Amino acid sequence: MLENSEEEPMNHLNNSVISKSTSPLTITSKKTNCFLIEINDGFVLIDTGYTSERLVIEEALTNAGCTSANLNLILLTHGDFDHTGNCAYFRDKYGAEVAMHKEDSGMVEYGDFFYSRSNVNIIVKILLKTALFLLRMNLKKQDRFKPDIYVEEGDDLSIYGFDAKVIHFPGHSKGSIGFLTDNGNLFCGDLLENTKEPAKFSLIDNHEEYNESIEKLKQYQIITIYPGHGKPFTLEVLLEKL
């Protein structure tokens, strides 16, 4: 169910708006993808990249014609800093609402990479926390935010002009989700990757849930998969490799 994170009516677009379902503009910076999708009255942005790559991503959005008048929604596949780093800034700049799964909300509210991960080995957790701090890769206070909308399994995004539905893919994080368009494009975040070849993602928190998420792919009419890292590929090619 689509749920506003505040107890007030959601600011929906005109219900008559229909998505064009065109191919997305892929913006890749530091090997992380953001996707800008054109719809009839503007754009939808999926993920926002690293904070350090803000100028590069912002320039790409501007060159594509994205403005405060036509960015309708920012969708987040999960709460990791390399996918959410510019979300607060873009929300303020473009005036677009931000939607994500509630299970990952604490990651962006508190800047805690492990907020929705409970199965990481304690030693690995300490090492990763130290590395993130030293490399300044975690969300700083000014880049933290509370999402405007919580989405979950089966939610229809056409109310925002985007002909797609939400699929919950826990495993990488509790609140990992994907967006499947009516024409068979799946934006899967870090469920999968294709930096060398189509494959399962390397960082898995809950293996049981993750494997169930992979099996879930077979239930849908998916043509092209757009991962958070690497190039798009077909579901057919992926299943041949699994």
CATH number of the domain bearing residue 178: 3.60.15.10
HSE of 141, CA atoms in CB hemisphere, 13 A: 0
Could you tell me the mean pLDDT of each successive run of 10 residues in the chain, 242 residues long?
56 34 84 96 96 96 96 97 97 97 96 76 64 66 96 96 97 97 97 96 93 96 97 94 82
The total number of structural domains that make up the chain: 1
pLDDT of residue 212: 97
Domain boundaries, position 219: 3-241
Total-model pTM: 0.88
User: From CA 54, how far away is CA 228, in angstroms rounded?
Assistant: 17
User: From CA 148, how far away is CA 140, in angstroms rounded?
Assistant: 19
CA 152 to chain centre: 13
User: From CA 131, how far away is CA 158, in angstroms rounded?
Assistant: 40
pLDDT of residue 115: 77
